[in-house]
Amino acid sequence: MTDEASPANALPPPRVRLLRDGGRDLLVVEGAWTLHTLAPKNVRRPLLRRLHTGARNAPWRLSAAEFDAAGACFLLTAWSGTLPPDLEGDEEQRALLEHCRNALQGEEAPAPRVSPLEALGASVLGSGRSLLHALEVLGGFALRTLAVLSGRRRPHLGALSREITATGVRALFIVALVSLLIGIVISYLIALEARGYSAYGLLIFVLGVAILRELGPVLAALLVAGRSGSAITAEIGVMRIRGELDALRAMGLDEGGRLIDPKIVALVVALPLLTLWSDFFALAGGLLTASLTLNLPVGHLVDLIPQTVPSSDYWIGIGKAAVFGLVIGIVATTFGLEIEADSQSLGEKTTRSVVTAITTVILLDALAALAFRSIGLS
């Protein structure tokens, strides 16, 4: 196998020999010093020892050796970037060594060191900047939406329809599946407990409030943030890296109306609908499980819902979903526009986009729980 790796395998191996020449020590560098002969570690190690310990001031003889740029670099790194003062070699060898030494000369700029405090400050400032960008995106979106509503601007309905398909329709299956399973799990655990007290009304109330008011919108929002939020950030980021955003702007097409607004509006429209969809499957799973666990007809349990669960809980859920959609859209586009022209930034910002969107959604949900505590809940 190594035959193919090294065309030079017929060459003599590299070595350093100590020669006594007329009462003085002479270090003789011999053999082929090439990338391929020096690549194996077990060849390099004894050579390095020899090169390091070889008396700094002893004369060196290179004439019997053959080396390429890699070999010259190897010798120079072993000699800490300098040539021994007493070096005997032919013109070509000296030229190569000096050429390499010149390339290695000069202080390498020290890698910028960042103290933890600086890093913390930078991250806080970065978050602040992102917040400002997000406000800018929100403001631009609001102004354009007002212009559309007052008829001063035409909406891009084709793009909107594509976006709703991407964020809403394509998410139907996953939202249904997750909601159904969560509904089954919650209902099963509560039903086991409720059976002891025959507290069926309470079971339905808890299921209804938990699903309609909290789980439906939050589940849908988390799934959409993971699915579409990341996709939006990555898409805008790649467009930015490839210069497509500049192209849009240069052609006088506004990227806001064409690219950003349809995505945000699609989320604001699709998320409440997905919440409705999620409510349906979670309740279906919950009621079926409850009826199987408690041996009650499903119809009876369904009848109990309007009697025990106030409709305001449902409307609060739908309303929250629309706000979550707006938040996910703003966060995803903000981070997409912040992506810089390297592959690392794309991954980093996409991650931050999803994490920020999910955190914000949950934070807003907690605030909403406090703000609307006196509404619904009977």
Partner 1 sequence: MTTAAVPILEADGMSVRYGPQWILRDVSFRVEAGECLGLVGPSGTGKSALLRHLLALEQTAGGHLSLFGRRIDGPDDPVLHLLRRRIGILFQGGALFSALDVLENVALPPRAMHLPTDWANAMARVALSEAGLDPIVTGHKKPAELSGGMATRAALARAIVLGPELLVLDEPTQGLDPPVARAFVTALRELRHRSSSTVLLVTHDLETLRALADRIAVLGEGKLLTIGTPDEVTRYDHPVVHDYFQGWRTLA
Residues within the interface to partner 1 (CB under 8 A):
1-2, 4-5, 7, 34-35, 39, 41, 44, 68-70, 72-74, 76-77, 81, 99-100, 102-104, 106-109, 111, 340-344
Minimal distance, residue 99 CB to partner 1, in Å: 8
Question: Please, which residue, 31 or 208, has the CB nearer to partner 1?
Answer: 31
Which amino acid is residue 163, in one-letter code?
Answer: E
Minimal distance, residue 243 CB to partner 1, in Å: 12
Minimal distance, residue 39 CB to partner 1, in Å: 6
Question: Please, which residue, 53 or 102, has the CB nearer to partner 1?
Answer: 102
Yes or no: say if 318 and 276 are a contact pair by the CB < 8 Å rule. yes
Residues 6+ apart with CB under 8 A from 66: 11, 31, 32, 33, 34
What does the alpha-carbon distance between residue 218 and residue 220 come to, in Å, rounded to a whole number?
5
Question: Please, which residue, 245 or 296, has the CB nearer to partner 1?
Answer: 245
Question: Please, which residue, 121 or 347, has the CB nearer to partner 1?
Answer: 347
What does the alpha-carbon distance between residue 191 and residue 211 come to, in Å, rounded to a whole number?
15
What does the alpha-carbon distance between residue 205 and residue 306 come to, in Å, rounded to a whole number?
10
Dihedral angle at the C-alpha atoms of 67, 73, 76, 82, nearest 10 degrees? 110
> What number of other Cβ atoms are within 10 A of residue 67's Cβ?
25
Specify which residues 41 forms β-bridges with: none
Minimal distance, residue 88 CB to partner 1, in Å: 23
Secondary structure letter of residue 260 according to DSSP:
I
Minimal distance, residue 91 CB to partner 1, in Å: 14
Q: For residue 361, give the 3-state DSSP assignment.
A: helix
Minimal distance, residue 104 CB to partner 1, in Å: 6
Minimal distance, residue 121 CB to partner 1, in Å: 22
Q: What are phi and psi of 199, to 5 degrees?
A: -90, 65
Yes or no: say if 203 and 290 are a contact pair by the CB < 8 Å rule. yes
Minimal distance, residue 5 CB to partner 1, in Å: 4
Q: For residue 11, give the 3-state DSSP assignment.
A: coil
Report the first-to-last Cα separation within the chain, whole angstroms: 79
What does the alpha-carbon distance between residue 79 and residue 117 come to, in Å, rounded to a whole number?
39
Minimal distance, residue 105 CB to partner 1, in Å: 9
Question: Please, which residue, 13 or 155, has the CB nearer to partner 1?
Answer: 13
Question: Please, which residue, 80 or 295, has the CB nearer to partner 1?
Answer: 80
Question: Please, which residue, 245 or 269, has the CB nearer to partner 1?
Answer: 245
What does the alpha-carbon distance between residue 50 and residue 27 come to, in Å, rounded to a whole number?
9
Question: Please, which residue, 90 or 107, has the CB nearer to partner 1?
Answer: 107
Specify which residues 66 forms β-bridges with: 32
Beta strands in 8-158 (DSSP E): 15-21, 24-33, 60-61, 65-67, 87-88
Question: Please, which residue, 100 or 212, has the CB nearer to partner 1?
Answer: 100
